[in-house]
Amino acid sequence: MKTPTHTLKSYITDVQDFPKKGIVFKDITSLLQSPEAVSLCLESLLSELKDKKIDKVVAIEARGFFFGMLLAQTLNVPFFPVRKPGKLPRKVVSQSFDLEYGSDILELHEDAIKSGDKVLIHDDVLATGGTAEAVCKMVESLGGQIVQCNFIMKLNFLEGFKKIQSYPIYAALTY
């Protein structure tokens, strides 16, 4: 039987050796081309938020913005982008972290989160978990409470869930 998960998985394209040899890149642009798949994915992400109060959605540059914005708009709450250094125009908090391929710094506007805000964090892929962990740290440093970290997919073989295991995690797809 073709389940929604089966259907959704069929829209993810595996790209071998991108951006470096040995990495299988999970390309979601093929999913974004299908309104049906976008709806399925959004429904899946929302299904695990039904009884949860969310004040704000924080999503991670750049592929986290697609569903992060859809989630915020559907939940009728404000959206806050996490960006690479130098992109946000006002005062920021920054956090450095290790990636599956390299290291980086992320930033969030300092006034994005108020103490006690219930925050949903979204990104496209949970791989080694360094990115999501960095964002959790920034949100908590501003006093936010993380209600859930959600992802289009998590790559369990990279064990990123271990880095953010103190927070509820949901992924529409698991590999």
Catalytic positions, written as ranges: 63, 100
In 1-101, the DSSP E strands lie at 13-16, 24-27, 56-60, 79-82, 92-99
Kindly state whether residue 56 participates in binding ligand AMP, applying the rule CB under 6 A.
no
By the 8 A CB rule, do 32 and 62 touch? no
| Residue 105, token pair as written in the block | 């710094």
Nearer to ligand AMP by Cβ, of 120 and 125: the residue is: 125
Residue 81 pairs in a beta bridge with 59
Kindly state whether residue 32 participates in binding ligand AMP, applying the rule CB under 6 A.
no
Kindly state whether residue 99 participates in binding ligand AMP, applying the rule CB under 6 A.
yes
Among the residue ranges 43-51, 88-96, 123-131, 140-148, the one whose residues contact ligand AMP (CB under 6 A):
123-131
By the 8 A CB rule, do 80 and 58 touch? yes
Among 126, 142, 146, 172, binds ligand AMP (CB under 6 A): 126
* Residues in contact with ligand AMP by the rule CB under 6 A: 23-26, 60, 63, 99-100, 123-132, 160
